[in-house]
Amino acid sequence: MTNDDWSALVDTTDEWITTRTGIKERRFAADDQSTLDLSEQAALRAMGDAGLSADDIDEIILATDTPELYTPDTASLLQDRLGCRTIPTYDLGGSGCAGWIQAIDVARSRIAFEPKNILVVGVELISRLISWEDRATCVLFGDGAGAIVMGPGTGKATLVDVISGTDGSKADILTLQTGGTRHPFTVESAAAGDHQRLDMKGSEVFREAVRRMSSVTLELLERIDRPLGEVALLIPHQANKRIIDAIGHKLGLSEDKVFVNVDRYGNTGSATVPLGLWEAYGESRIQPGDLVVLTAFGAGFHWASAAMQF
Ligand code: UT7
């Protein structure tokens, strides 16, 4: 869906969206597709790339704010869809766009405790969550899914370290309140479209995003004792090209070292980082020997950074 497609529906322009966000188009799932369908496709491609079958998967963690159902978790439905054994599964929900890096942080500690293969999915069908009439939010998002399989030993890359953080005092800068126990669904709230009212203090989110993604990346590199100059590619959360540029500028990274695909997908929430990783890898922008850093932030307010040695 292009910016011009949106401008036919709400009071916006290609010029506004492009200059404020860098987004040119985004993909939306078809009406008959759901979170589970996108998760399945990403999972199958990750398992295929790893040379593993459903029997080889020992656990599933799925990060999403847009689950298939209210209950049970999407991960259990994915286990059945993929034909896995009766392995444990769980969703990591509500962490917004930082959810997938948080999930790989959880996965690595599970693997350190007991060697196993964990399928880690980041998926979002934000088109079902947002109001299609609110120009301040609808143009920003897209649907997508990405996945990796993590396991013990050496694969294509080693997860060197991850740092995650949360500042719950900033929870109110990005919320969707209706539908939880504090503000349950009512006929009135549904009629008013409150269940799709994404409250976002855009400029505050912008500032915090730049601050936190830059500082957690520096903290991580210091902890693993690797200088910025050794980073071959930074794959930041794709919410806004201006946010990405500001991080690159703050860190002093040249443009070719910062991955960008927000122009084609918009903000796909917890899927942006695994999607970016998959594209960068597929386009041979990642070579053996490369140090790749992933970073994200999201509602919560959560942030995280991960270092992968290819
Ligand atoms: O993954 C986490 C999710 N969220 C984010 O990462 C969002 C972070 N924030 C941002 O990316 C930016 O703050 C936005 C893209 C959301 C907004 O950009 P901005 O430069 O901060 O614009 P603004 O909020 O200051 O709005 C400027 C104007 C307003 O009009 P007035 O009040 O100045 O007359 C808005 O009503 O732009 C107006 N506006 C629009 N105009 C045309 C808001 N949305 C639109 C639109 N088309 N789609």
Atom of ligand 1 nearest to the CA of 237: 1
Under 8 Å between Cβ of 297 and 246: no
Under 8 Å between Cβ of 171 and 207: no
Burial string for 269-286 (b: 16+ CB within 10 Å, else e) reads bbbbbbbbbbbbbeeebb
Instruction: Give CA 9 to chain center in angstroms.
Output: 27
Q: How far is the CA of 78 from the centre of ligand 1 (A)?
A: 36
Q: Where in the chain is CATH 3.40.47.10?
A: 3-154, 160-309
**Beta partners for 89?**
60
φ, ψ at 164 (rounded to 5°): -120, 150
Tell me which of 6, 64, 206, 263 to substitute to probe ligand 1's pocket, judged by most ligand atoms within 8 Å of the beta carbon: 206
The percentage of the chain sitting over the pLDDT mark of 90, rounded to a whole number, equals 95
Active-site positions?
97, 237, 267
How does DSSP classify residue 56?
A: G
Atom of ligand 1 nearest to the CA of 242: 11
**Beta partners for 237?**
none
Nearest one of 217, 179, 194, 183 to 296, comparing CA atoms: 217
Nearest CA to ligand 1 atom 17: 202
Atom of ligand 1 nearest to the CA of 21: 15
Nearest CA to ligand 1 atom 43: 136
Q: What's the whole-model pTM score?
A: 0.97
Q: pLDDT averaged over the chain?
A: 96
> Does domain 160-309 bear CATH number 3.40.47.10?
yes
Q: How far is the CA of 206 from the centre of ligand 1 (A)?
A: 10
> Does domain 3-154 bear CATH number 1.10.1510.10?
no
Q: How far is the CA of 101 from the centre of ligand 1 (A)?
A: 26
The set of protein residues with a Cβ atom below 6 angstroms from ligand 1 is 12, 16, 20-21, 97, 135-136, 139, 200, 202-203, 205-206, 209, 239-240, 267, 298
Atom of ligand 1 nearest to the CA of 299: 2
Reported as a single tens digit per residue, the pLDDT across 200-242 is 999 999 999 999 999 999 999 999 999 999 999 999 999 999 9
Under 8 Å between Cβ of 220 and 293: yes
Reported as a single tens digit per residue, the pLDDT across 114-170 is 999 999 999 999 999 899 999 999 999 999 999 999 999 888 999 999 999 999 999
SS3 of 310, please? coil
CB 177: neighbour CB atoms within 10 A? 14
Query: Which tokens in the block code for residue 87?
Result: 């392995």
| Upper half-sphere CA count for residue 42 (Cβ side, 13 Å) | 34
Q: How far is the CA of 202 from the centre of ligand 1 (A)?
A: 6
